[in-house]
Amino acid sequence: MPLNEFPRLKIAVSDCLRGTHCRYNGGHAQDDFINKDLAKYADFFPFCPEAAVLGTPRETIRLVGTLENIRVFAPKSGTDVTMGILDYTEKTVPKLLAQNLDGAVVKSGSPSCGLERIKVYNPSGQWHAFKDPMMAGVFTAKLKAMAPHLAVEEEGRLHDAWLRENFVIQAFTSARWREFLQGDLTLASFQAFHRDHKYLFMSKHVEIYREMGALVATTRQSNLRESVVGYQGKLFDLLAYRSKRGNVKMVLDHIYGYFKGFLSSDEKAHYHESVQEFVNGIVPLIAIIKVLEQYLNAYGSDYLATQVFFKPYPADLGLRSKIAAYR
């Protein structure tokens, strides 16, 4: 796939985040990143456990019991709605996963959809602050259990540029892998996938990248399918790591190494100064990428020309323009 083309993402999403009036009070939780940015590049697969089971508007619910025995309870009326929520969850999560999702964005703070820190109350109805357990909402806990590799984030956490950048890389790389699997699987296409992702993967986790490389190197036509399965496991492990500035600098320096023989001492000094400013959180990654792209245009490199690291997702998402996108 050319570097300027991107697969269309398949993203499961809590329906209220799309602006659907399905919250307990008939309201919504429309999120700009989902509906204005991500929507240009994604097909959404919405879900709303509570509206499906309890209707809208409805009384609020909460998790009650212990981590080993969670109940879903509507405290005002004293109704136990566990069976309904679990039934919807058991039916809907497999249907969503059958779509070969690339990620999910879930609503924070919800006993159904939250990713973390959802309070579990005592059966008496009281919550004793940090002494009591907290967990994911019932629906998202099931989604994570059935698809631990999936990029799942809450809309609130995606306001953090670092988490957002990593979520988007994870989703787009999963989508490229999905499309790779749907194409004609050959030894050459497998090797090309790995080659084109070399620097992106190194920026995530060097050791896992090397393990993936060793797997590709020992793959023959006879063990191709088996290798692809093993590779996928390592790929998903690697994508779960969040990029750190140190790893990204190492990749930038590798790429710079292709060109330094062509550069004047002033140009070399400018590169080193710029990359140090990136490491120190003074300039965003896009500034260094633009310098390296300039070298690529001037001096060429067939190997670098197809590296996904230069464009892992659509540029207008603007994530590499944010200094906070790297830590």
Biggest CA pair distance of the chain: 76
* Least separation in angstroms between CB 17 and ligand SF4: 7
Judged by CB under 6 A, which stretch of 32-40, 104-112, 116-124, 172-180 contacts ligand SF4?
Answer: 104-112
Total residues interacting with ligand SF4, rule: CB under 6 A: 13
Judged by CB under 6 A, which stretch of 11-19, 192-200, 220-228, 277-285 contacts ligand SF4?
Answer: 11-19
* Least separation in angstroms between CB 259 and ligand SF4: 49
Q: Under a CB-based contact definition with an 8 Å cutoff, are residues 211 and 234 in contact?
A: yes
DSSP alpha helix (H) spans, 149-220 = 161-182, 187-196, 198-204, 206-217
Which DSSP string do the residues of 24-83 spell out, in sequence order? TTS-----HIIIIIGGGTEEEEEE-HHHHHH-SS----EEEEETTEEEEEETTTTEE-HH
Q: Under a CB-based contact definition with an 8 Å cutoff, are residues 9 and 43 in contact?
A: yes
Near ligand SF4 by CB under 6 A: residue from 10, 11, 12, 23: 23
Dist CA 1 CA 179 (whole Å): 10
Near ligand SF4 by CB under 6 A: residue from 54, 63, 105, 113: 113
Q: Does 22 bind ligand SF4 (CB under 6 A)?
A: yes
Q: Does 50 bind ligand SF4 (CB under 6 A)?
A: yes
Q: Under a CB-based contact definition with an 8 Å cutoff, are residues 135 and 64 in contact?
A: no
Query: Nearest-CA neighbor of 192 among 108, 305, 103, 318?
Result: 305
Judged by CB under 6 A, which stretch of 110-118, 190-198, 221-229, 281-289 contacts ligand SF4?
Answer: 110-118
Q: Does 107 bind ligand SF4 (CB under 6 A)?
A: yes
Q: Does 16 bind ligand SF4 (CB under 6 A)?
A: yes
Q: Does 49 bind ligand SF4 (CB under 6 A)?
A: yes
Near ligand SF4 by CB under 6 A: residue from 9, 10, 11, 14: 14
Question: For residues 288, 177, 305 and 267, what is the CA-based torsion angle, rounded to 10 degrees?
Answer: 20
Dist CA 7 CA 240 (whole Å): 20
Near ligand SF4 by CB under 6 A: residue from 9, 11, 51, 138: 51
Judged by CB under 6 A, which stretch of 105-113, 187-195, 212-220, 301-309 contacts ligand SF4?
Answer: 105-113
| Sites of contact with ligand SF4 (CB under 6 A) | 14-16, 22-23, 48-51, 107, 110, 112-113
